[in-house]
Amino acid sequence: MDPKIQELIREDPRFAYEAYEFVGDAVSHTQNRLGRSTPDGPDEDDNPEADRHVSGGELLKGACDLAVREFGMMAPVVFRHWGIRTTDDFGELVFKLINAGQLSKSERDEPDDFHNVFDLDKALTEGFALTLGDAPRRGDR
């Protein structure tokens, strides 16, 4: 376990350890998805952060995509279990990680980038539909 994340949890226990880890994974996932992953090799330019930066909105969309891939229909339940209920909560996690030196930000980034961007539960459940055809028939039990 990362001691910096453990300290964040001691200071503010609203969010689970896994929520902080997920944010880091979501940043990487979003960078990869947008073609902004960490460059390999000696040809890195002087400011590699500029090319890899993702906005708050991009990160939120990438996080939802990753959550649905990893947790499927259970994504909203997992997020609630970790203490994440709104896009604002996600922003709080991001900026706590920035303040702890675990993530970096540009001068344009601010917590308001995450304020009430969209309904998180709705974003995590779009595309899933349960129908009567999915239910077992009486003789199938």
Q: Name the token pair of 61.
A: 């969309």
Name the percent of the chain lying above pLDDT 90.
Answer: 70
Contact (Cβ atoms closer than 8 angstroms) between residue 37 and residue 31: yes
In this model, does residue 49 exceed pLDDT 60? Answer: no
Task: Give residue 31's pLDDT.
Answer: 94
How many domains would you assign to the chain?
Answer: 1
* Confidence bin at 64 (pLDDT 50/70/90): very high
Whole domain around residue 96: which residue ranges?
Answer: 3-140
Residue 11 has pLDDT above 80, yes or no: yes
Full DSSP string of 71-116: HGGGHHHHHHHHT--SHHHHHHHHHHHHHTTSS---TT--GGGGTT
Average pLDDT over every residue of 21-42: 84
CA distance 79 to 54: 21
Q: Is the pLDDT confidence value at 2 over 50?
A: yes
- Burial of 129: CB neighbours in 10 Å, binned 0-12, 13-18, 19+: exposed
**Choice between 139 and 66, residue whose per-residue pLDDT is larger:** 66
